Homo-oligomer: A and B are copies of this chain.
Amino acid sequence: MMRPEARLYAVTRPLYSEESFAEEHKKVYRRRKNILDHIKQYLTFDTKRTKNAALSLLPVIGWMKIYQIKEWLLSDIVSGCSTGLVAVLQGLAYCLLASLPPWYGLFSAFFPVIIYFFLGTSRHISVGPFPVLCLMIGSVVTRLVPDDGPPANITGFEGLTRDEARVLVASSVTFLVGLMQLAMGMLQVGFVVLYLSDSLVSGFTTAAAIHILVSQLKFVLGLQVPGISGILSIVYTLKIIFQKITSSNVCDVVISLVVMVVVFFVKELNDRFKSKLPVPIPIEVIMTVITCGVSFAFDFKTIYGIDVVGYIPSGYESPMAPNLHIFQETAMEAFPMAIVGFAVAFSVAKVYSVKHDYTIDGNQELIAFGVSNIFGASFKSFAASTALSRSAVQESTGGKTQVAGLLSAVLVMIVTLAIGFLLEPLPKSVLGAVVIVNLKGMLLQIRDVPSLWRRDKPDTVVWVGTCIAAIFLGLDVGLAVGLGVELLSVILRVQFPRCSVLANIKGTDIYRDRKDHIRIYEPEGVRIFKISSPIFFANIEFFRDKLIEALGFNPLRVLKKRNKALRIIKKLLKKGDLQWTSEGFLNTSFGAQKESEDESNMEELDQPIDFKDLPTRIDWNARLPANIIVPTVEIHSLVLDFAAVSFLDMSALKGLKTLLRELIRVEVDVYVVACDSYILEKLHDCCFFDDEVLPTMFFLTLHDAMLHILEKCPEPAEKKSIYEKIDTTVTVHKPTTSLRIRDKNAPDRETRF
């Protein structure tokens, strides 16, 4: 239907070089803003902008104004209660990842939510503990306050119990994370999350899931395994678990298996009957309540010796200042936490903002999480982000705004203040089992790798690199390695671009890779070269090599050989061993044939060939006098297709100029086509042009340049068929290898092919 079969593409216009085009079509003068203008604009005081900026710092005002009490409030209440139940459970469970006493997880599901209510721009995410982040905190905590052995030598640990020291570490790190996020938000660098590509995040979260799985094994099996952090910690942990596996607590294993199987199946049902269920079955909460009751009724703790949540104090603890010494010790680990926490929350928030059609602001989110974490840390909560599963509950149960989040926080508060003691008999293995079942989605990402490999190799390398590094080197180092691999993959893609030699598709103005097509037309002595990438310091040499390969000769080497030959000829002429006649050069002495190469002055062999003092120019492709041999050059015109060259840096500019000059000096006409006008301007600004490298070499399109070349150096008649429309009055000649000397004073066009 859409195939434009018989339709015609007919164009008749003057042949344009960039110069002639610019002359005919004058450009409108546009003043470009420079950096000063931008700064001025940024600093200009403007009442309206100031007001907007102030408002954007408190997004709550914006959405509270449009709050539809009648329609939204009920949904928010239902959603808040459901989310609150999940938040309590997850708060306790993820605390195990952070190696802290469980009730601190309840703090983390309370304090940050309050602040986010006022400062956050997302209306649907459930702020609070995020398993990956908890694990990263746990790794810092066990490094500074290990299970076995004394804590690190930090001022402020004196007189603290192990758990107290751990809470101090966790909240200090959280404070630092908050400071970093706040600073990034203030500096408006929220765009850094762009660098976390899909492949990187997928590989990273898969690795995180494996870490979480391993860290929960000890609870599920009822083993005592010290928390290990640092490089290869996962291997050491697994080693200890396998050594101890025979002493697993059977009761724990049975409870975990039952919980896992039940939760798994009910979750599958939830997924399958998503559209039919008004609210997904809160199976985790149900299982928790049941096991809690069973554990209490049969006193599992004393009879089977299983590890339970244990004492939960009611009420909050007094605020605490962060420890500066811990800041110093953990700065390197806090930074990836700040990035990961924000990136996850932002990406979840974005999904919902697109779905419900409102905008979120990355920098404001950074500020919101920064302040939330700083505030939370003061009350001994640990770093908050969002958990995908909890946010899904909040949204799917009908949450419309952060009012739902606030209500979930209230529910958490009730548990903390009043009914926390009910959770004391809950076995830790249940929490571990719930965490493990929730890893399904993250672990299944590994299935995408084979298809990713078939589609895009570099992306797969990023995925696998990030995942392996994060598993074995730890999450923070792994993220850094992944980022490095990813940025390098971009550089490498740009650095080793596809280069191709193009040819005309017969009967058209279209040029394609000459290896791909048969019905092509390649005029003799013309080479069309395309580079599909910007040119910059890392690929200018590559570009040069590929071009030389395509040309079949190294212009600099040819230039030097020619200059050397010229010196010998000049010397011979001076000595009288060689004479110029109208027939060509005449050897008068045979001794001259042994003239050795003059090595003493290598300095100026790359200068333009100087025919001064010679009666004629020399046809270098012809046989030279005195048995001098220089490589022949069959190319008279080179066309460079710059359509895909989106920028040039200074190294590229320098290298390109050298290359063009060498080519021009060996009498190859160079044409640059389809060059971006911005780049052409830059070339002018950077004094790219001189006596040899002229702006006249720039043509608008490849076909324009080709027509120009064919007019200047016409092809033999039998090959001309498709170009017969062009008025070619210049006589036909073609490079030959016979000895032919042309007069030096002939017009340039004749001799310069």
A536 to B486, CA, bound (A): 11
* Tally of this chain's copies: 2
Closest to A707 in B: B9
A9 near B703 with CB under 8 A, answer: yes
A748 to B2, CA, bound (A): 11
Which chain A residues (1-19) contact chain B, with CB distance < 8 Å? 1-17, 19
Residue from B20, B27, B651 within 8 A of A197 (CB atoms): B651
A708 to B3, CA, bound (A): 9
Given contacts A355-B602, A519-B25, contact A198 B30 (CB under 8 A): no
Cβ of A73 within 8 Å of any chain B Cβ, yes or no, is no
B13 near A458 with CB under 8 A, answer: no
Closest to A23 in B: B3
Shortest distance between the CB of A236 and any CB in chain B (Å) = 21
Q: Specify which chain B residues have a CB less than 8 angstroms from the CB of A4 in the assembled complex.
A: 14-17, 20, 704, 707-708, 711
Q: Specify which chain B residues have a CB less than 8 angstroms from the CB of A537 in the assembled complex.
A: 194-195, 197-199, 486
Closest to A507 in B: B13
A104 to B35, CA, bound (A): 52
A458 to B647, CA, bound (A): 11
Residue from B5, B510, B676 within 8 A of A20 (CB atoms): B5
Residue from B12, B498, B676 within 8 A of A532 (CB atoms): B676
Q: Which of A4, A513, A711 has the most CB of B within 10 A?
A: A4
Cβ of A744 within 8 Å of any chain B Cβ, yes or no, is no
A28 near B518 with CB under 8 A, answer: yes
Shortest distance between the CB of A297 and any CB in chain B (Å) = 42
A3 to B354, CA, bound (A): 54
Q: Specify which chain B residues have a CB less than 8 angstroms from the CB of A244 in the assembled complex.
A: none
Closest to A561 in B: B357
Cβ of A490 within 8 Å of any chain B Cβ, yes or no, is yes
Cβ of A700 within 8 Å of any chain B Cβ, yes or no, is yes
Q: Specify which chain B residues have a CB less than 8 angstroms from the CB of A704 in the assembled complex.
A: 4, 9
Cβ of A293 within 8 Å of any chain B Cβ, yes or no, is no
The contact sample of 26 A-B pairs, CB cut-off 8 A, is A3-B17, A4-B16, A4-B704, A7-B726, A8-B12, A8-B13, A9-B11, A28-B515, A28-B516, A194-B495, A194-B537, A195-B538, A197-B651, A198-B654, A199-B537, A357-B560, A400-B599, A452-B650, A455-B653, A486-B537, A493-B536, A494-B534, A497-B646, A516-B677, A643-B643, A644-B644
Sorted nearest first, the 8 A-B pairs with minimum C-beta distance are A197-B537, A7-B15, A4-B15, A532-B646, A455-B686, A643-B643, A11-B509, A2-B696
